[in-house]
Amino acid sequence: NDIKKIAVLKGDYIGPEIMAAGLAVLKAATDSQQFKYELIDLPFGGDGIDRAGDPLPQSTIDQAKQADAILLSAIGGPKWDQAPRRPEQGLLEIRAALNLFANIRPTKITDRQVDRSPLKKAYVTGTDFVIVRELTSGAYFGKPRELQAHQAIDTMYYNESEVVRIMHEGFKMAQKRRHHVTIVDKSNVLATSKFWRNIAKEIAPQYPDVMVDYYYVDAMTMAIMSKPTAFDVIITPNLFGDILSDEAAQITGSIGQIPSMSVGSEGPNLYEPIHGSAPDIAGKGIANPISMVNTVAMMLSESFGEKAIAEKIYRAVDAVIDQGDVTPDMGGDLSTEAVTQKMIMHIQSDETVTIS
């Protein structure tokens, strides 16, 4: 009776390829369950430019706000790089329009994944941290921003409420995890980072059960690689979070596995893989669908409370990784579709096990 509305922004280049995979898994995992949903296809990104003349049509904002969750694939690519309003602009604007100020990017390596990491097993075993990336301010949004013939300006800006709310988001998350927060900034140089760290120090005592440490972002790029198991919740500004999360993805062996969730104070969450539209492999049928499948599972768990269905999907992901039924980015030789079919098979046999 209660039908959940899922806004689907299918993306560009590999976007639609992995979205199809994610939706096929969503269907398979929910077929025999009470969970009912309806998909609402909205033009966005390059697809928005092609279908509706803009990367973020007003109707897409309006309908996304009405949805119970937003599922987004990757956008952008060379086709629209010269457009007056690029797909990436639409992405920044939808984050702002929905006030999605916190972006949660997990890096978790299961025992079955450790052998696929480019790092030594002893270093990566047990890695399980989340990057809490501030998403609607900082260097991405500060004014002035100008590109002129002989100079260019970006502005890194934060105000107090923007920093306070992302800190609380991260500290609260740590209380549900391993009670450890790492603040990452560049407070030895940048004013916004000094501000960031000062506020962190003011807020930390409100969470006496949470251990806090502080890193400069340059040192953090090393620490993420040399001791990834030392972290739990990493709270960092927009630009640093963008960079650190791509780096962190490498620990797992491929960025093609990593989901994310963007949350605000009200309205639907937005779920998207952290990677881009991978124009270099688009159309070849070899994009890794796991990022989108994990994104779907995250949505089921976090927006709809469907933890059991999400767990079933995670088990199917584990199973294909375990059996080496993966795409080339993970050292396999299967297509996007073949990996997806394998996952669906695992979901269906999981079903028979739980029923009998």
Where in 254-293 is the site for ligand NAD (CB under 6 A)? Answer: 255-256, 272, 275-281, 287-288, 291
Region from 20-28, 84-92, 106-114, 115-123 binding ligand IPM, contact rule CB under 6 A: 84-92
Per-residue DSSP letters for 46-96? HHHHHHHSSSS-HHHHHHHHHSSEEEE-----GGGTTSSS-HHHHHHHHHH
Where in 223-242 is the site for Mn ion (CB under 5 A)? Answer: 242
Q: Between 46 and 228, whose beta carbon lies closer to ligand IPM?
A: 46
Per-residue DSSP letters for 111-178? TTTGGGSSS-HHHHTT-EEEEEEE-SSGGGTEEEEEE-SS-EEEE----HHHHHHHHHHHHHHHHTTT
CB neighbour class for 146 (10 Å; exposed up to 12, middle 13-18, buried from 19):
exposed
Assess whether 140 carries a catalytic annotation.
Answer: yes
- The tokens describing 103, both together, are 């972006």
Q: Between 48 and 276, whose beta carbon lies closer to Mn ion?
A: 276
Q: Between 63 and 89, whose beta carbon lies closer to ligand IPM?
A: 89
Where in 40-79 is the site for ligand NAD (CB under 6 A)? Answer: 74-77
Report if residue 17 touches ligand NAD, rule: CB under 6 A: no
DSSP 353: H
Q: In angstroms, what is the minimal distance from the CB of 251 to ligand IPM? A: 17
Residue least distant from ligand NAD (Cβ): 276
Q: Please report, in angstroms and rounded to a whole number, the separation of the first and last CA atoms in the chain.
A: 27
Q: Which residues bind Mn ion (CB under 5 A)?
A: 242
Active site residues: 140, 186, 218, 242, 246
Q: Which residues bind ligand NAD (CB under 6 A)?
A: 14, 18, 74-77, 88, 91, 255-256, 272, 275-281, 287-288, 291, 329
